[in-house]
Amino acid sequence: MNILKILQERYTTKHYDPTLRLSEGELQQIREILRLAPSSINSQPWAFDILSDEETKARLSEHSMSNRERVQTASHIIVLNVYRSIQTFEEERLPTLTTGAQSFYRSQIAPRGEEGVRSWMERQVYIALGVLLTALPMMGIDSTPMEGIELEAYDAILGHEKYRPLVAVALGRRDPEDENQPSRTPKSRRTDVFL
């Protein structure tokens, strides 16, 4: 497996083949990848929806802005959620952490105040997103990370008491005619990113 080659060929899929579906074995691997994602002090302030039913996808697609078609035609949609309440996070997650991790949270994270703690928790979810986006092309699965969604509407549709949506990912198999794939539209990346 050549990670550089995989990342050179990975791209944000714009058009999916709606007839191709992920297998249960692939979904099990994706669940385990998300479960094993790293987070600061092993905080894991997240929960994940893996959705495939057409009714839910149709409802979410109405609130997916320019991603509407992707939500409708992708095999699955993963919604990455974060704890809604800092108090619930502290009650549920802190007791499971090591003494050192608890001390770090209380001395370094909690003093940042509500906005600072929320921001810290959200950044942990983005670490899981990065792991997922790296793992999927290794499995031969195409994906589209989506911040272009209406979070309040997603929240109302999903209706989780403890969690709220933060970002979503469409995944499946590309339409062979997708113009965004690197073989048709060369990948463009900065070369001046290293200081």
Structurally, the chain folds into a number of domains equal to: 1
- Residue identified by tokens 């549709």 is 157
How far apart (Å, rounded) are the C-alpha atoms in residues 49 and 51? 6
How far apart (Å, rounded) are the C-alpha atoms in residues 188 and 182? 9
Domain that holds residue 132: 3-38+47-84+122-172
134-177 pLDDT per residue, tens: 999 999 999 999 999 999 999 999 999 999 999 999 999 999 99
**What is the CATH number for 158?**
3.40.109.10
Tell me, yes or no, whether 94 lies in a domain: no
Q: Is 182 in a helix, a strand, or coil?
A: coil
33-68 pLDDT per residue, tens: 999 999 999 999 999 999 999 999 999 999 999 999
> What is the band of 1 on the pLDDT scale with cuts at 50, 70, 90?
confident
pTM of the entire predicted model: 0.96
Tell me, yes or no, whether 101 lies in a domain: no
Tell me, yes or no, whether 116 lies in a domain: no
* Mean local confidence (pLDDT), 175-191: 95
Token pair of 73 as six digits: 């035609």
